[in-house]
């Protein structure tokens, strides 16, 4: 049937081709016309799917809290205005190289790390990252356009959570269990949009992208919402973490350090969630261990090694050190008690690796040693 169809199509093209055009040229013209029509239909389908998702988001919010209407709720306005923390200061004076800095948080490409640490000093930790934000511009283009809808939906979800905690509204968050499609698609869109940005970042960063990171961190650190989100989106979050790690390792642009710092900040903030922390530590330990073994092999054989990857491995070591250090400092979280398989693999031949690399690569050896100390801190204590 397929052969007969192809033959019939060939005869139809030959008989209908205009004079002055070869069969090949006419066939290419027809193929281009059909592909443009397909692209048009695909675009229409994407628009309709986005509209369906938006309506499902509105329906889910209405099921969770039928009375939620932030613009018309005067009491909600008062509560939000009172509890609103200082607006985020977006970094607009960014150097290309990202090397001229006075402290770690001054060099925050997304303008989020300093706000996150400042908010940690609040007595009521549930207020963290739930400040009121102005409506986002719906006329965004490019990377920002795909982020607008999920960011707004998740912002409203967080606002309902905050207002219900303050006794202003009654909310039923068990509805999240009944509509896994909406929450999964919203979080997936958010993560995909951030991945696209991190793959080819442009500075200064727009408010939409900055807010997207804030909403993501708010979502996974919220005591009531995080369980619902992680239950449905754990695989997607794991994929997102792996993508961010690979972005750090594979980035070879000259002025890449500013972008790498932004990715590193996001990974550290993701690691503040107890469920995501252990898997993130395992991923980082695996990458650092594999690179250390490859570097040792290249050193012993006097072979060439990738200097770019060598430079990029240090952000991973720094992230790993911060996550392990944070765990050690939190007495109620047994982070230094991390006993995954990667810990055993990482420590197995570490002494020999450090011994052979310490002369040629002293800084990297020092980082390896510091990570090993943090991994063994529970046994030392």
DSSP readout, 300-338?
HTT----HHHHHHHHHHHHHHHHHHHHHHH-TTS-STT-
Is there a contact between 164 and 222 (Cβ–Cβ < 8 Å)?
no
Instruction: Assess whether pLDDT exceeds 80 at residue 86.
Output: no
Tokens (6 digits) for 113:
């790390």
Residue among 260, 297, 268 at smallest CA distance from 284 = 268
Q: Rounded to whole angstroms, how far apart are CA atoms 146 and 140?
A: 9
Whether 349 has a pLDDT exceeding 80, the answer reads yes
**Is residue 169 over pLDDT 50?**
yes
Per-residue confidence at 275, pLDDT binned at 50, 70, 90? confident
pLDDT, residue 380, reads 55
DSSP 8-state secondary structure symbol assigned to residue 168: S
Residue 305 to residue 248: CA distance in whole angstroms: 17
Is the model's pLDDT at 236 over the cut of 60? Answer: yes
Distance, C-alpha 240 to centroid of its chain: 6
For residue 72, give the DSSP letter.
T
Per the listing, tokens 């016309």 go with 33
| pLDDT band of 353, cuts 50, 70, 90 | very high
| 63-82 tens-digit pLDDT | 888 876 544 344 444 444 44
Say if CB 84 and CB 193 are below 8 A apart: no
The distance between the two most distant Cα atoms of the chain, rounded to a whole number of Å, is: 88
Query: In this structure, are residues 175 and 63 in contact, taking their beta carbons and an 8 Å threshold?
Result: yes
Looking at residue 127, its pLDDT comes to: 35
Residue 361 confidence (pLDDT): 95
Q: What is the pLDDT of residue 206?
A: 80
pTM, to two decimals: 0.71
> Which tokens is 64 given?
């969770």
Residue range 193-211, pLDDT digits in tens? 999 999 888 878 788 888 8
- 223 against 116, higher pLDDT: 223
Q: Determine the average pLDDT of the residues in 93-99.
A: 42
User: pLDDT value at position 85?
Assistant: 37
CA pair distance 243, 241, nearest whole angstrom: 5
């Amino acid at each position: 049937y397929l052969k007969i169809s192809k033959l019939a199509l060939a005869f139809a093209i030959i008989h209908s081709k205009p004079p002055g055009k070869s069969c090949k040229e006419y066939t290419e013209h027809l193929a281009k016309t059909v592909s443009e029509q397909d692209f048009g239909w695909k675009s229409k389908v994407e628009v309709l799917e986005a509209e369906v998702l938006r309506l499902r988001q509105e329906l889910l919010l209405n099921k969770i809290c039928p009375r939620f209407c932030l613009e018309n709720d005067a009491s909600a306005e008062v509560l939000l205005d009172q509890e609103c923390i200082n607006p985020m200061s977006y970094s607009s004076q960014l150097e290309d190289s990202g090397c001229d800095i006075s402290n770690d948080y001054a060099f925050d490409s997304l303008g989020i790390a300093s706000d996150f640490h400042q908010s940690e000093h609040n007595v009521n930790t549930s207020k963290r990252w739930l400040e009121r934000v102005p409506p986002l511009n719906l006329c965004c283009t490019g990377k920002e356009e795909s982020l607008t809808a999920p960011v707004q939906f998740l912002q409203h979800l967080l606002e309902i959570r905050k207002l219900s905690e303050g006794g202003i509204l009654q909310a039923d968050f068990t509805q999240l269990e009944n509509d896994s499609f909406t929450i999964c698609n919203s979080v997936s869109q958010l993560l995909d949009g951030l991945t696209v940005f991190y793959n080819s970042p442009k500075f200064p960063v727009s408010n939409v992208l900055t807010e997207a990171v804030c909403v993501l961190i708010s979502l996974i650190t919220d005591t009531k919402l995080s369980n619902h989100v992680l239950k449905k989106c754990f695989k997607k979050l794991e994929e997102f973490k792996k993508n961010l790690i690979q972005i750090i390792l594979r980035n070879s642009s000259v002025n890449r350090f500013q972008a790498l710092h932004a990715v590193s900040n996001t990974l550290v903030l993701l690691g503040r969630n107890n469920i995501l922390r252990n898997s993130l530590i395992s991923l980082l330990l695996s990458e650092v261990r594999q690179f250390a073994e490859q570097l040792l092999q290249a050193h012993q054989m006097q072979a060439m090694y990738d200097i770019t990857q060598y430079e990029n491995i240090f952000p991973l070591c720094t992230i790993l050190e911060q996550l392990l250090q944070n765990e050690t400092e939190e007495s109620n979280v047994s982070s230094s008690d991390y006993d995954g398989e990667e810990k055993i693999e990482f420590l197995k031949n570490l002494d020999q690796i450090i011994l052979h690399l310490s002369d040629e690569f002293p800084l990297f050896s020092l980082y390896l040693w510091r990570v090993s100390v943090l991994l063994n801190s529970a046994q030392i204590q």
